[in-house]
Amino acid sequence: MNINANFVNFLYLALKGEPTFDDLTFVLAHENDIKPTPLEKPIVALSPKGCVIGDKLTKTNDNGEIVVTNKREVKSTVSIDIYLPYSMGGLEGHRYFDRIATYLLFVENFSITGATCSESDYDTSCQAIVLRSSFIFTNIVES
């Protein structure tokens, strides 16, 4: 079972199906994908960037006994890169990042424990402005 890839797929479907993002195209990114050149509309690419599965968690019973559970903390890092036509400018990428982050934090209430966002850069391979970001989602899973 690939926990991180499954989570990225779940996240992709949630974002893609959200009507407030009708102006964006969401894709599952793969390094060898052929990118449209030049880019004509914003594209948001999601990809798994790593997963850390912690040790089994413990709990303390009413009698003070510490018991090992079947639950583990899983931290999934997801890359969410925003590609924009050059004519839109770099600031627009940060506006999209803000919209996506707000949706994930407050509308869907995902358990985000970290997020990073770079400055906008020009990607010559697809002649587009790109804003790279990543989110760390922390969840408890039962094994």
Average pLDDT over residues 103-132: 90
Ranges of each domain in the chain: 3-142
The arithmetic mean of pLDDT across residues 64-91, rounded, is 93
Position 1 scores a pLDDT of 44
- Looking at residue 104, its pLDDT comes to 92
Q: Which of the listed CATH numbers 3.40.1390.20, 3.30.2000.10, 3.40.920.10, 2.40.10.10 matches domain 3-142?
A: 3.30.2000.10
> Which is nearest to 120 in space by CA: 88, 94, 100, 87?
94
pLDDT of residue 80: 95
Give the list of residues 6+ apart from residue 9 with CB closer than 8 angstroms, or none: 28
Higher-scoring residue by pLDDT: 34, 18? 18
> Which pLDDT score, from 0 to 100, does residue 32 have?
59
CA distance to 11, 129, 137, per residue, from 90 (Å): 25, 6, 26
**Range 62-89 average pLDDT:** 93
Q: What is the pLDDT of residue 42?
A: 93
Q: Is the pLDDT of residue 89 over 80?
A: yes
The distance of Cα 141 from the centroid of its chain, to the nearest Å, equals 18
d(CA 16, CA 31): 20
Please report the pLDDT score of residue 37 as a whole number. 76
pTM value is 0.85
